[in-house]
Amino acid sequence: MNIAANGSLSATTVANNAGTLRNAGTLTTTGGTTNIAGATLINTGILNGGLVNSGSASNAGAVNGGLTNSNIYTPVGGSTNGVTANTGLITASGGAFNGAVNNNTGGIFNVNGTVSSTSTFSNGNGATLHVLAPGSYTVAGLLTNNGVLTVDVGGTLTATAVGITNTGPGTITNNGTISDVLNNAGLVNNNNIYNANVATNTGTINNNAGGIWTGLF
């Protein structure tokens, strides 16, 4: 199915059960769009009503109404608007997440471009948030890490507006640059540049050889 740049489709629900759905126009549902395992969705237009993805989906336009992802979602630009719930693989090379991001158990959230979040980010126990080079991820709300958070050499994570809470099971490994206000009850290993005032610490913070920590420790 192809929706052209000036085209539109309105329905109660849309289910892409096989093949490829390309939307360059406006796709509007009241009950959501479902992209089934084995199917492909390519959105460069406007998708209204939310997306449930268990196949492969990419976005360079706007996904409005939230995202539930259990397989592969690749935003290369544009915006994902509403709550994002992920138990699959999200690899973001551009764009914005305008709404809370819940990276739940088993979820992997990779950033390898310039990406922003306007709300909170929750990284669940057994989940991974990974900022790769040359990724730059800015989170406007509280970032809560209960899982694994890694920033590679050449990667940047900024959460200065509200900060990062690293809970007991949480692990942060920084080989790039992190800027935040830190509340830590887990494990933090800094091997490069970490800009943060430590508000609370009941866990372990290691500023390792080669690490530069700027802020109140």
**Consecutive sets of 10 residues in the chain, 217 residues long: mean pLDDT of each?**
95 96 98 98 98 98 98 98 98 98 98 98 98 98 98 98 97 98 98 98 98 94
Residue 150 lies inside a defined structural domain of this protein: yes
**Structure tokens that stand for 30 in this block:** 């009241």
- Residue 195: the pLDDT is 98
- Number of residues written out for the chain: 217
Residue 200 lies inside a defined structural domain of this protein: yes
Consecutive H or E run containing 60: none
Total domain count for the chain? 1
Q: Give the domain extent around 161.
A: 83-214
- Residue 200: the pLDDT is 98
Residue 13 lies inside a defined structural domain of this protein: no
- Residue 166: the pLDDT is 98
- Residue 217: the pLDDT is 80
- Rounded distance, CA 108 to CA 89, Å? 5
